Amino acid sequence: MRLMTYPDNIQDMIDDFAFLDDWEDRYMHVIDLGKGLPPLPDAARNEANKVKGCASQVWLVSEKSGDIWTFSGDSDAHIVKGLVAIVLEIFSGRSAAEIAALDANDILSKLGLSEHLSAQRSNGLAAMIGRIKAEAAA
């Protein structure tokens, strides 16, 4: 029996990554997650949606309906696009309070990603997470 400390979709993602034995498999899984992202309209690829602090180009779009935030995004780099997909899976479809309460660093650690990302990618990931948390808190 697993300890349910995260919403089901996040726990499922953690469980999926747990089956992958080595970093190469996880790396390929991250890229595959990115391939599954719906395309971001060209109009959304603008300066206002660009995430500052990412070495690759990353765009993040947020929408609020009632109390629920929905995020979409894209990147010009395969691995980063996969990281965008993971961040969207963690935060999209949640209230501001839920977003504030989620510990993304703990989740990324459980996915086995933290220790394998370059400093640039880690900084970019932190920038994405920071932006989502800031928008939801505003």
CATH of the domain at 62: 3.90.1010.10
What mean pLDDT value characterizes the chain? 90
Q: 76 in a domain, yes or no?
A: yes
The answer to whether 133 is a known catalytic residue is no
- Whole-model pTM? 0.90
In a domain, 3, yes or no: no
Please report whether residue 2 resides in a domain: no
- Active-site residue, selected from the candidate residues 10, 30, 33, 54: 54
| Cβ-proximal residues to 39 (8 Å cutoff; 6+ apart), any chain | 74
Q: CA 130, 49, 98: angle at the middle one, nearest 5?
A: 40
Query: Residues 60-111: pLDDT tens digits?
Result: 999 999 999 999 999 999 999 999 999 999 999 999 999 999 999 899 888 8
Q: H-helix or E-strand containing 131?
A: helix 119-137
Domain assignment present for residue 130? The answer is: yes
